[in-house]
């Protein structure tokens, strides 16, 4: 089964019938700032206020193209570790921006970007098939180059600690987080939320997945995955953890029982509150340990 269908297949597990029906009923309704293809649900969406934060929406030049970026940090001046947040397949939408603000509220300078800006973005697409045609055609090398540009931009911020850079991502962004850690030795910590371990490798798009380049990742890696993720077998998760540890990299992979793919996505039926909250606490502790100490 394709990973993008997983949240539909697993959505009811671990939920009361009333909660599931309420979410499914709401699923067809548009939620401002979310991709229609995500089937955004308004039930338990977390919204982080900007009070006490400095939020910047701008653009970064990457190979001659102005890539939209979103940055947040505490409003008071200081030197803050950097966390780069890599979006899901839906791009830089409201949920990803909120995650950026969540990190800023906890004392980080966080930033994200729109990977599909050159294609006009994907927020206007209503069918998953149409969305996949766009995102699946984007080469990993282009994403890595855009991330290089974003990191260079953030490192120039007067409030950033340029020697303390972490990366995290969700779904496809979780895969990119692992790939970028292998690409950029400046990365000091990684948290991958259900990022694919053995993705397809279409010619001209991807030459290697995270497992293929595990030995090149030197930064400590925390992996947060669901046992009921129909697109990422538990055996693959365990294989990735073992490969990292065998290469001498600090790695801890947590597999949540009864959790499907996208269990942190509070705007989708796949959301699992207990796993999401525990994963977030672990994520913050990981970055605090490896970026703030």
Provide the residue range defining the domain that includes 268: 3-292
- Looking at residue 32, its pLDDT comes to 72
Q: 49: domain CATH number?
A: 3.40.50.1820
Torsion of CA 62, 112, 33, 137, to 10 degrees: 50
- Looking at residue 31, its pLDDT comes to 65
CA distance 104 to 223: 21
Whether pLDDT at 16 is above 50 = no
Q: With contact defined as beta carbons under 8 Å apart, do 54 and 72 qualify?
A: yes
Give the CA diameter of the chain: 51
Whether pLDDT at 11 is above 50 = no
- Looking at residue 101, its pLDDT comes to 98
- As beta bridge partners, residue 46 has none
Which of 158, 255, 112 has the alpha carbon at shortest distance from 197? Answer: 255
Q: With contact defined as beta carbons under 8 Å apart, do 234 and 6 qualify?
A: no
For residue 286, name the pLDDT band (cuts at 50, 70, 90): very high
Whether pLDDT at 40 is above 80 = no
What's the average model confidence in pLDDT over 229-247? 98
Token match 């007067």: residue? 158
Pairing of strands 160-170, 109-113: unpaired
For residue 4, name the pLDDT band (cuts at 50, 70, 90): very low
Lowest-confidence region among 15-29, 113-127, 266-280 = 15-29
Active site positions, annotated: 171, 229, 261
For residue 23, name the pLDDT band (cuts at 50, 70, 90): very low
- Looking at residue 19, its pLDDT comes to 47
Token digits of residue 72: 């947040």
DSSP class of residue 118 equals G
What's the average model confidence in pLDDT over 78-100? 97
What's the average model confidence in pLDDT over 143-154? 98
- Looking at residue 284, its pLDDT comes to 98
Structural domains of the chain, count: 1
Share of the chain above pLDDT 90, in %: 81
DSSP class of residue 258 equals T
Whether pLDDT at 108 is above 70 = yes
Lowest-confidence region among 44-48, 57-61, 90-94, 205-209 = 44-48
CA distance 257 to 97: 28
Give backbone dihedrals phi and psi of 58, rounded to 5 degrees, phi first. Answer: -150, -160
Tell me the whole-structure pTM to 2 decimals: 0.91
Q: With contact defined as beta carbons under 8 Å apart, do 172 and 88 qualify?
A: yes
- Looking at residue 37, its pLDDT comes to 76
- Burial of 244 by CB count in 10 Å (0-12 exposed, 13-18 middle, 19+ buried)? buried
What's the average model confidence in pLDDT over 193-219? 98
Q: With contact defined as beta carbons under 8 Å apart, do 41 and 61 qualify?
A: no
């Amino acid at each position: 089964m394709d990973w993008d269908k997983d949240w539909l297949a697993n959505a009811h597990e671990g939920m009361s019938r009333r909660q599931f029906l309420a979410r499914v009923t709401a699923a067809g309704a548009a939620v401002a700032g979310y991709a229609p293809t995500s089937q955004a649900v308004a039930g338990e969406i977390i919204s982080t206020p900007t009070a006490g934060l400095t939020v910047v929406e701008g653009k970064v030049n990457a190979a001659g193209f102005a890539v939209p970026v979103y940055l947040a940090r505490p409003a008071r001046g200081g030197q803050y570790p950097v966390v780069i947040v890599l979006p899901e397949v839906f791009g830089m939408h409201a949920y990803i921006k909120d995650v950026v603000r969540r990190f800023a509220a906890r004392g980080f300078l966080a930033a994200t970007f729109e990977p599909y800006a050159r294609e006009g973005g994907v927020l206007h697409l209503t069918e998953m098939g149409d969305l996949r045609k766009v995102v699946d055609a984007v080469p990993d090398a282009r994403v890595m180059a855009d991330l290089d540009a974003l990191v260079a931009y953030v490192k120039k911020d007067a409030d950033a600690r340029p020697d303390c850079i972490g990366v995290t991502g969700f779904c496809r962004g979780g895969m990119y987080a692992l790939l970028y850690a292998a690409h950029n030795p400046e990365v000091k910590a990684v948290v991958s939320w259900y990022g694919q371990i053995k993705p397809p490798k279409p010619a001209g798009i991807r030459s290697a997945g995270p497992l293929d380049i595990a030995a090149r990742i030197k930064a400590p890696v925390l992996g947060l995955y669901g046992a009921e993720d129909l697109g990422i077998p538990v055996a693959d998760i365990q294989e990735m953890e073992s490969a990292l540890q065998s290469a001498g990299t600090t790695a801890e992979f947590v597999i949540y029982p009864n959790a499907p793919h996208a269990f942190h996505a509070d705007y989708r039926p796949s959301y699992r509150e207990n796993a999401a909250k525990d994963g977030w606490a672990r994520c913050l502790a990981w970055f605090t340990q490896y970026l703030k100490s």
